[in-house]
Each structure stands twice: as C-alpha cells, then as structure tokens.
Chains A and B, each alone.
Chain A
C-alpha cells in the first residue's frame, strides 16, 4: 500500500483558475515537503513543513500556498494558474527536518496541466 497518497494523479485546469493538490502520509513522519518536476527543472524544492510549521519556502510566487490541517497532511493550493505551472508536483516526507541527512520518501505525484 502506498504510504504517501497524492490526489488527484492527473489534473487539467484552465488559466486563471485555482486548484488544490492533496497529500497525506502514513509513515508517522514529522516533516513534509513539496517538490515540482518539469522539463525545465528536473527536481525543484518548493516548501518544507515540520510539525505543521513552515520551515523553508523557495517558491518565489505567493500563488503557491501550502496548507497543513493535520500533522500528516500537506496540501498545496495554487491560485491564478498559468500554463508555466504545468508540471508534476511531488509530495515527500521525512522523519524529521533537523540538521543532518534525512531520507526523503516521495509520493507518486500529481501531474498538472494548465491550458
């Protein structure tokens, strides 16, 4: 059974609309992340959360907003969608996010296409 569930697997949206990408992890981890993968940038870190608090934000645009309602949930809200937002978005988790080398566990991704 997948330990990190991302929904939906595929998503098509129109320019200017808003979408929410869902992520739940059942590994008992304390830290969660969002990454983006596109042809331009193979793996691009977006956000990290630890115990439901934002730890790092490398996303330049405020159109991307993570939302954590529970420790094992980290959704990603994207507003005013643009064709350039088309990519596969991966959720990941790790036991903790402190200094040191944490192994990341990834979900299978949500493939977003913006028309």
Chain B
C-alpha cells in the first residue's frame, strides 16, 4: 500500500542552522505531496504542496522539490529561527483516492 516515511523523529538545531527533514514515499502514479506544520496547541496547517515531478513547493523560507526518481520530498530551510519550532508532517494524496496518507511527523526543536 501507499506510505510515507519520515526518518527523523526529532531534530534539534541552533538558530541560523540549515534544516533538512527527510520524506520518502511509496505510491503509484503521481501522488500530490504535502508538508504540514503543527505548532503547539494548534492543528496542522498546510505549509505547501507539489503535484508534479521536479515541482518545487515553498513557503516561509521552507522548500521541497518533488523527486519521482528518488521518491522523495525533503523539507529544507537555509536558516531556521526559534519560531520554526513545531512538528512537521509529510503527507501524500494518492492518484485515485482523496484520503491523505501521513508520515509519522518530525519534531523540530530550535535552541535559542
């Protein structure tokens, strides 16, 4: 079945560090890929999405590129801030099914 794998359960960085959170997926065809962010005490909210191979999604300094060859959609940010502390979820919407499939989430901790 379709799946999303986030390998890092938690990432701890200092301000201005470079961030990478890995997301790999397994799905047939061309699923739509998402990154959602969840701040403490809130529900997840969409960061951005991408629907085609090589498409780059971006928002608030975060970006990810849809790579069908490596089945990846890694989240990156050049310089993190304390306000980026949150849980980040990678998700996919399969071709023929509207139901989102979620990764296990990565908690980002930014040390001031």
- Complex CA gap A98/B46 in Å reads 19
Question: With A101-B93, A109-B43 known to touch, is A45 a contact of B98 (CB < 8 Å)?
Answer: no
Contact of B46 among A42, A48, A99, A103 (CB under 8 A): A103
- Given A42-B89, A92-B43, A108-B43, do A103 and B49 touch, yes or no (CB 8 Å)? yes
Do A99 and B98 have beta carbons less than 8 Å apart? yes
A43 x B44 contact (CB < 8 A): yes
Supply 12 further A-B pairs (C-beta < 8 A) apart from A42-B87, A101-B49.
A4-B43, A43-B89, A90-B43, A90-B44, A92-B43, A100-B98, A101-B34, A102-B98, A103-B46, A105-B46, A108-B41, A109-B42
Query: Which residues of B line the A interface, CB within 8 A?
Result: 31-32, 34, 36, 41-46, 49, 51, 87, 89, 93, 95-100, 102, 104-105
User: CB within 8 Å of B: which of A18-67?
Assistant: 42-43, 45, 48, 56
Chosen A-B contacts, 16 in total, with CB atoms closer than 8 Å, are A4-B43, A42-B105, A43-B44, A43-B89, A45-B100, A48-B98, A48-B99, A100-B32, A101-B31, A101-B32, A104-B46, A104-B100, A106-B42, A106-B44, A106-B45, A109-B43
Known: A102-B93, A103-B46, A106-B44. A45 touches B104 (CB 8 A): no
| B99 surroundings in chain A (CB, below 8 A) | 45, 48, 56
Residue contact A107 to B104, C-beta cutoff 8 Å: no
The main secondary structure of chain B at its interface with chain A is loop
- From B42, B51, B96, residue with most partner A Cβ within 10 Å: B42
CB-based contact A107/B100 at 8 Å = no
Check B102–A43 contact: CB distance below 8 A. yes
- Residues in B with CB closer than 8 Å to A101 are 31-32, 34, 49, 51, 93, 98
Q: Indicate if A97 sits at the interface (CB-CB under 8 A).
A: yes
Docked CA distance A61–B99 (Å): 20
The 7 closest A-B pairs by CB, nearest first: A106-B43, A101-B32, A101-B93, A42-B105, A43-B102, A90-B43, A103-B46
